């Protein structure tokens, strides 16, 4: 009888609480013999995608897998782990985080035996702000994530560095550009496969987010990407890109910043500048709601640039 009463109590407590939606399945896309991109949804974190909103890349080595980005929660990390197991029985031995935004690293704890890799700046940002990203993810998907905790990197690379390593028999170049999408971006280049995995320095089908960015550096980083001998460009969100699409993104960001800078120098307010911008292309993309924040960030950077010139 006591067990029946306890069960009834638990049912009463949870009555009316909707079950979490299943995490959407990634679309597996084979880029090379041992390189698979797991394409996720491109919408912002919400109850439908349960915080799975990125692309992860699985690089299959001799005895293990190098996973680039782990998702927005412990559960999403486990979901990606299952997707990797459908491709190969080899364990994930290394996890690389391209930057500190929670949708890219909060799944780290689903890989307890892995070595974690990031830029030095990313490791500090994950350590300092990881708990904030957990709270933001919980807010956006509408429920608590008690098993999700920030896990910072074990191995890091310094700002401006270019380091070639061999992991699991795979030749990899880790490139830490000047802060672009964030202060701690990390680019992952596979020279033998000509695949560049860029995190959110590249996005496709969504408006790039400048909130934590450095726009002039970002344009320079995109210039450097185009000078590389890559054929496949993996963005943090959206479909795999061509060199021409990278060039288009570079030009769109450059034009946007130049227009905001011109408005600043003419003494216009942010709202006045927005009225002068041609946003028709970006308004058609996912996450167009970040355009106002992007104008603010560009305005502040233009202001700082004007001080530097004095």
Residue bearing tokens 């969504």: 206
Is there a domain that residue 142 lies in? yes
Domain that includes residue 48, residue range:
22-308
Is there a domain that residue 1 lies in? no
Is there a domain that residue 10 lies in? no
Do the beta carbons of residue 34 and residue 214 sit within 8 Å?
Answer: no
- Provide the whole-model pTM: 0.92
Is there a domain that residue 6 lies in? no
* β-strands 115-119, 155-157 pairing: parallel
Do the beta carbons of residue 106 and residue 77 sit within 8 Å?
Answer: yes
Do the beta carbons of residue 191 and residue 229 sit within 8 Å?
Answer: yes
Is there a domain that residue 209 lies in? yes
pLDDT tens-digit profile of 50-86? 999 999 999 999 999 999 999 999 999 999 999 999 9
Q: CA 128 to CA 230: how far, in whole Å?
A: 34
Count structural domains, the chain: 1
Is there a domain that residue 14 lies in? no
Residue 18: φ, ψ to 5°: -65, 140
pLDDT tens-digit profile of 226-283? 999 999 999 999 999 999 999 999 999 999 999 999 999 999 999 999 999 999 999 9
Is there a domain that residue 12 lies in? no
pLDDT of the residue at 20 = 75
Q: CA 242 to CA 231: how far, in whole Å?
A: 7
96: β partners? 68, 117
CATH code (residue 182): 3.60.15.10
**Size of the chain, expressed as the number of residues it contains:** 310
- Does the pLDDT at position 19 exceed 80? no
Is there a domain that residue 145 lies in? yes
Which helix (H) or strand (E) segment is 174 a member of? strand 170-175
pLDDT of the residue at 108 = 98
């Amino acid at each position: 009888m006591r067990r029946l009463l306890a069960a009834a109590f638990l049912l009463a407590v949870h009555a009316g609480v909707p079950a979490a939606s299943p995490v959407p399945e990634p679309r597996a896309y084979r880029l090379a013999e041992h390189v698979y991109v797991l394409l996720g949804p491109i919408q912002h974190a919400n109850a439908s995608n349960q915080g799975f909103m990125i692309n992860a890349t699985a690089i299959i080595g001799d005895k293990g897998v190098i996973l680039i980005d782990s998702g927005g929660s412990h559960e999403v990390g486990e979901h990606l782990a299952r997707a990797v197991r459908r491709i190969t029985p080899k364990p994930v031995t290394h996890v690389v985080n391209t930057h500190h935004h929670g949708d890219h690293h909060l799944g780290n704890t689903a890989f307890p035996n892995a070595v974690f890799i990031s830029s030095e700046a990313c490791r500090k940002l994950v350590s300092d702000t990881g708990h904030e990203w957990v709270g933001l993810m919980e807010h956006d998907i509408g429920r608590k994530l008690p098993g999700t905790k920030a896990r910072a990197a074990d191995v890091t690379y310094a700002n401006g560095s270019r380091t070639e390593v061999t992991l699991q028999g795979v030749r990899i170049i880790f490139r830490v550009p000047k802060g672009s999408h964030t202060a701690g971006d990390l680019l992952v280049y596979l020279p033998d496969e000509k695949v560049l995995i860029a995190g959110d320095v590249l996005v496709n089908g969504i408006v790039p987010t400048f909130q934590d960015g450095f726009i002039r550096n970002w344009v320079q980083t995109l210039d450097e990407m185009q000078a590389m001998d890559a054929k496949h460009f993996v963005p943090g969100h959206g479909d795999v890109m061509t060199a021409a699409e990278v060039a288009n993104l570079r030009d769109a960001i450059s034009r946007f910043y130049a227009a905001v800078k011109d408005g600043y120098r003419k003494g216009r307010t942010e709202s006045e500048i927005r009225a002068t911008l041609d946003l028709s292309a970006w308004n058609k993309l996912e996450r167009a709601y970040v355009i106002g924040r992007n104008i603010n960030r560009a305005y502040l950077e233009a202001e700082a640039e004007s001080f530097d010139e004095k």
